[in-house]
Amino acid sequence: MLEGKRIVVGITGSIAAHKGADLVSKLTQAGAKVDVVLTESGARFVTPVALQGLSGRPVYTDVFAATGDLAISHVELGRRADAVVIAPASAATMARLAHGLADNLLCLTVLATEAPVLLAPAMDALMFENAATQANLAILRERGMTIIGPAEGRLASGMRGRGRMVEPEAIVGALRRLLGRSGDLAGRKVVVSAGGTQEPIDPVRYVGNYSSGKMGYAIAEAARDRGARVVLVSAPVALSTPYGVEKVPVTTAEEMRDAVVAACAGADVLIMAAAVADYRPAERAGQKIKRTKEGMTLDLVPTPDILAEVKGDLVRVGFAAESEDLMRNASEKMARKGLDLIVANDITAAGSGFGTDTNQVTIIDKSGAAETLPLLSKYEVACRLLDRVVPLLKRSS
């Protein structure tokens, strides 16, 4: 999504400037063309040389200096940008922006851009809470700029409070959401389930499965990047929630059913990537079950079939993780659950299935037509799947 995009990253004077440098590195690695604009105070914290090393492009500091591209006019950076991110954004820079001052290259660039602007403030908590800063933020927000953070935590003053710049990962997420806001899922609500449910045996044990949640989280991210409002119903996983995605944490299949059914109200799409336990222990022991010399039998009862229970006029997509007879099992599942699409994968194939970052799947539609995709990253699989979902959407959202 960031491949080839022109992103202006403004870095202002703050101890968080090194995180701005990390952001430059992350965006560059994601394929963006990053034009760094460093303010005079910013240059007290990170050097143009370091930033040029990270972006592989000229770094701009001075309106009047003929840096890098000699032909560049003073408004060129803003004019050609797909997005402008200021991270860290100091109180002084936000005050300048709120009042339309063009007294440095960064503020001039923001004045001269039609691209979306994202600000990640960083300052002392008292400065952030100050009425002047809050008034400036309100003006910038009202003019359509997106503000992310600041977060609570330890500040440069040694005090704790709200003023820390959010982490670069969150800024990348916010930027992707901003760039995708007019994507082909804009105005749509997409519900995604992810992870493996856990069915309690006693207070310390459960029946579970190896699902990592990576496929579902990649779908949530990809749908967000295309402008959707995403609700991610997630069983316990070790992944961080993608920025801008609404996560509903659940543990058991029954909790997942309740959360998915509730989330599907008004939804356009349901994608069930979760590995839902088909059975749960009939009883949950109140106390930890003790070891004895005897063997033991667990009584299991079926859990609800979530996909089968979700009614309504939405596009429904299931996954079929199979270890044998892939196509036959997947097609049979699709018919039984009345799905629009099913994503079949052979969990025994190399690079596919639980815990991996890649997946090799076949997407089957209602007519029985099967599209076999190559081995791709889970994010790319998610993109290809959404390419198939979009034409199935009803015209009005």
Catalytic residue set: 209
Would you count residue 217 as binding ligand CTP (CB under 6 A)? no
Comparison of 82 and 346: residue with beta carbon closer to ligand CTP: 346
Nearest approach, Cβ of 319 to ligand CTP (angstroms)? 4
Cβ-count burial 383-393 (b if 16+ within 10 Å, e if not):
bbbbebbeebe
Binding span for ligand CTP by CB under 6 A among 111-119, 274-282, 354-362, 389-397: 274-282
How far apart are CB 393 and ligand CTP at their closest, in Å? 19
Residues 330-349 touching ligand CTP, rule: CB under 6 A, are: 333
Q: Beta partners for 246?
A: 231
Stretch near ligand CTP under the rule CB under 6 A, chosen from 16-24, 50-58, 268-276, 361-369: 268-276
Closest CA to 271 of 191, 377, 378, 196: 191
The residue among 120 and 223 lying less far from ligand CTP, judged by its C-beta, is 223
Output 127 or 272, the one with its CB closest to ligand CTP: 272
Closest distance of CB 381 from ligand CTP, Å: 14
Residue 216 lies near ligand CTP (rule: CB under 6 A): no
Whether the bond into 88 is cis, omega within 30 of 0: yes
Distance of CA 352 to the CA centre of its chain: 22
Look at the alpha carbons of 114, 228, 386, 33 in this order and tell me if their dihedral is positive or negative: positive
Residue 278 binds ligand CTP, judged by CB under 6 A: yes
C-alpha to C-alpha distance for 273 and 105, rounded to whole angstroms? 47
We find the least distance from the C-beta atom of residue 12 to ligand CTP, in angstroms, to be 46
* CB-nearer residue toward ligand CTP: 22 or 278: 278
Phi, psi of 108 (to 5 degrees): -65, -40
CB of 397 to ligand CTP, least distance (A): 23
- Nearest approach in angstroms of CB 364 to ligand CTP is 12
Both structure tokens of 290 = 């003790």
Phi-psi region of 2 (alpha: psi -120 to 50; beta: other; left: phi over 0): alpha
Which residues ranging from 303 to 322 are in contact with ligand CTP (CB under 6 A)?
A: 303-307, 318-321
Identified binder of ligand CTP from the candidate list 253, 267, 364, 383, rule CB under 6 A: 253
Task: Give the start-end residues of each E strand in 70-136.
Answer: 83-89, 117-121
Question: Per-residue DSSP letters for 258-307?
Answer: HHHHHHTTT-SEEEE-SB--SEEES---SSPPPP-SS-----EEEPP-HH
Would you say 124 or 340 has its CB closer to ligand CTP? 340
Which residue, 294 or 299, is less far from ligand CTP as judged by CB?
A: 299
Stretch that binds ligand CTP, among 123-131, 178-186, 270-278, 388-396 (CB under 6 A): 270-278
Query: In whole angstroms, how far apart are CA 302 and each of 37, 269, 309, 319?
Result: 59, 26, 14, 19
Q: Which two tokens stand for residue 183?
A: 């994507």
Using CB under 6 A, list all residues that contact ligand CTP. 253, 272, 274, 276, 278, 303-307, 318-321, 333
